[in-house]
Amino acid sequence: MAETVKLLLNGEWVTSEATETVPVYNPSDGTEIAATPLCGASEIDRVVQSAADAFPEWANTPAVDRARVMFRLVALMETHFEELAQIVTRENGKTIEDARGEIRRGIEVAEFACGAPALLMGDSLENIAQGIDCDTIRQPLGVSVGITPFNFPSMVPMWTLPIALVCGNTYVLKPSERVPLSAIRIGELLAEAGLPPGVFNIAHGGKDAVDALLAHPEVKTISFVGSTPVARYVYETATRNGKRVQSAGGAKNYLIVLPDADLDSTVAAVMGSAYGCAGERCMAGSVLVCAEGAGDRFLEPLSEIAREFRVGPTDRDPGVDMGPVVTKTHLHRIHQHIENGLQEGAELIVDGRDVQVEETPHGFYLGATIFDRVKPQMSIAREEIFGPVLSTMHTDDLSEAIARCNASGYGNAAVLFTSSGGAARKFRHEVNAGMVGINIGVPAPMAFFPFSGWNNSFFGDLHVQGAEGISFFTRQKVTISRWIDTKRQFF
């Protein structure tokens, strides 16, 4: 029987009192490698209270000392880089190269947080009126909560926890019950970096645990990443309970190709965008729009490479192009999307359901899949599939392609492949998405820029990463001062 993972509570690894667990699988071979306890409200309360008790002392710790913990964390993550990547591959199924990229992006946020003394500085102005000065300072809010998804078990927690901690908040992480192992290793490294007990804590569970966190009076901020329906629920519930919220949802990202785009680099970028991480990411390119006849040039080489894509067990074969999806349930869900596309009349030109992995027949595999002649009203064009399925459309011109993109309702990413500066400028100005790529398949910003989803891809005002992250995890206090010179007044 697989071992049940533990909670991190006030610096101690504690066995949960929960009687119900969720299996954690190695997606490459279908074996159960751990079990996640489904904590109830009473255990969630204990974890949050641990963070609340640690808050006053941590908030009063000098910013430079909080930053030094992040410096040590960065060094530890570099030392354990390959181990961290292997954990991601084992519990999530992505290739080792994708896992390494995930760890690198997480480290970059911790590196950004090392600049806390400069990032947290306020403003001041002398003589805003005669003899009156004004200044601002940034102060932490209290207990911050991160509720993170299965697709980036290391990077998404690292999006927020380094910034929350250097700002002086304490933190409770509720990782996806499907992938708790990366979160646990991060907790171990934070302790080794010298983070005091109670400043960082880990809770486990499903909806009941989430609801307890959203309602807890000691919780001040909620950071969530997941599907759009759940993101909207988290935002509405948490704000109703007085929390500050950043809630990132799903996406339907459009990749637009013009005939003048470079063939080789465009095909490589589209393949990486659509099938990297097995399509299980909110920045995946899921709709390819071939404008002005670009499909005649790009679709055949794209299909040839997709048919040759090597799919297999990522935990034992570092040479595969793509690994499994996260669970058998999710695999069945993607299969249903493919069936829906066929029933609605789309043309399936590359069928990934035919893939066979003989050495690990119980893994959760689906090959690269491409639909052509997809219409805007079809479900595969509107709904987030979250798997290695690319839907292809055709338009007469760029304006029509942009209109298709803007009609989706989401707004995470949009990409244009072209050699025309004029087309690129038009696209950048008109497209309704928060992250725009020009000849970049996955326009995910680095840690010092915001991860800026729009529309139904994000609920809230301040995004993760960058200056917006600092603003989210602090509140400003304004002091207006006038000092009377008593000596001058009376003598």
In tens, the pLDDT along 428-447 reads 999 999 999 999 999 999 99
**Distance between start and end Cα atoms, the chain:** 86
Q: Average pLDDT in the 19-46 region?
A: 97
What's the pLDDT score for residue 488? 61
Mention every residue, 6+ apart, whose C-beta is less than 8 A from residue 327: 25, 27, 178, 364
282 is catalytic: yes
Distance between CA atoms of 260 and 371, rounded to whole angstroms? 23
Distance between CA atoms of 470 and 65, rounded to whole angstroms? 17
What's the pLDDT score for residue 171? 98
Mention every residue, 6+ apart, whose C-beta is less than 8 A from residue 231: 224, 225, 247, 248, 249, 250, 458, 459
Mean pLDDT over the full length of the chain = 97
Residue 354 has pLDDT above 90, yes or no: no
Q: How confident is the model at residue 486 (pLDDT cuts 50, 70, 90)?
A: confident
Residue 353 has pLDDT above 80, yes or no: yes
Report pLDDT digits (tens) over 198-255.
999 999 999 999 999 999 999 999 999 999 999 999 999 999 999 999 999 999 999 9
Distance between CA atoms of 26 and 364, rounded to whole angstroms? 9
Q: How confident is the model at residue 403 (pLDDT cuts 50, 70, 90)?
A: very high
Report pLDDT digits (tens) over 34-80.
999 999 999 999 999 999 999 999 999 999 999 999 999 999 999 99
Radius of gyration of the chain (CA): 24
- Tell me which residue of 269, 294, 286 sits closest to 440, measured CA to CA: 269
Distance between CA atoms of 431 and 398, rounded to whole angstroms? 11
| Helix, strand, or coil (residue 51) | helix
Strands 200-202 and 170-174: parallel
CATH fold group of domain 7-249+461-478:
Aldehyde Dehydrogenase; Chain A, domain 1 (3.40.605)
**Any idea of the CA torsion for 154, 160, 163, 168, to the nearest 10 degrees?**
-110
Segments of the chain assigned to CATH 3.40.309.10: 253-438
- Tell me which residue of 160, 139, 149, 176 sits closest to 63, measured CA to CA: 139
Contact 143, 171 (CB under 8 A): yes
Q: Return the sign of the alpha-carbon dihedral for residues 65, 447, 90, 83.
A: negative
**Any idea of the CA torsion for 454, 459, 461, 467, to the nearest 10 degrees?**
-70
Residue 487 has pLDDT above 80, yes or no: no
Distance between CA atoms of 477 and 170, rounded to whole angstroms? 20
Segments of the chain assigned to CATH 3.40.605.10: 7-249+461-478
Distance between CA atoms of 241 and 438, rounded to whole angstroms? 40
Q: How confident is the model at residue 303 (pLDDT cuts 50, 70, 90)?
A: very high
- CATH of 253-438, picked from 3.40.190.10, 3.30.420.40, 3.40.309.10, 3.40.50.720, is 3.40.309.10
The one-letter amino acid at 200 = F
What's the pLDDT score for residue 491? 43
Q: 277, 282, 290, 405: which is the annotated catalytic residue?
A: 282
Phi, psi (deg, nearest 5) at residue 245: -135, 135
Residue 490 has pLDDT above 70, yes or no: no
Helices 63-79 and 181-192 pack at an angle, to 10 degrees, of 120
Q: Where are the alpha helices (DSSP H) in 410-472?
A: 421-430, 466-472
